[in-house]
Amino acid sequence: MASTTFLAIDLGLRHGFAYYADNGDLLWYKSSRFPSKSEIKKTAYGILKELNGLHTIVLEGDKAIGEIWRKAADKLNITTIWVAPEVWRPIILHQREQRSGKEAKKYALNYAHQIIETMNEKSQIKRAVRLRNDEAEAILIGQWFLVRRSFDQLVE
């Protein structure tokens, strides 16, 4: 059986990506800057198509940019899930860690570093020299999806 995967994306002209195996292992993360929406339109389909076993993308951020990704995912029969920061942050961060957007981003970086370190004990993830906020948030969006999916399986 082929392994299945999902991709969490923090949307903006600079995207954060976190690519996960279905068992919860973080496979890689990265940040990409797109100069325009038209550049995203040109590349989204190809990025998704390259990822073998991809069954779901989890999007947070700019809705117009997200629609580009949703349309590309639809062409490949990939499920799209939208999540707002107001939904995932309370699941992943303590209330005191999200008093402001700036504070939430600081804690997101801390937690993402911990996740990367934990995953590096299992496998060698190529680590960025400096973890960016968009990468950290994508990693945590992926963690939210894992929690949500586990809960959904419990109540089925």
Q: How far is CA 15 from the centre of its chain?
A: 9
Global pTM? 0.89
- Binned at pLDDT 50, 70 and 90, residue 2 comes out as very low
pLDDT digits (tens, 9 = 90+) for 65-114: 999 999 999 999 999 999 998 899 888 888 888 888 788 888 989 999 88
pLDDT digits (tens, 9 = 90+) for 3-14: 689 999 999 889
- Give the Cα separation of 16 and 26 in Å (integer): 14
> How much of the chain exceeds pLDDT 90, in percent?
60
**Cβ neighbours of residue 46 closer than 8 Å, sequence gap 6 or more:** none
CA angle at residue 144 from 139 to 145, to 5 degrees?
95
Give the chain's domains with CATH numbers. Answer: 5-149 (3.30.420.140)
Q: φ and ψ at 32, to 5 degrees?
A: -135, 135
Written as one letter, the residue type at 20 is: Y
* Per-residue model confidence (pLDDT) at position 154: 57
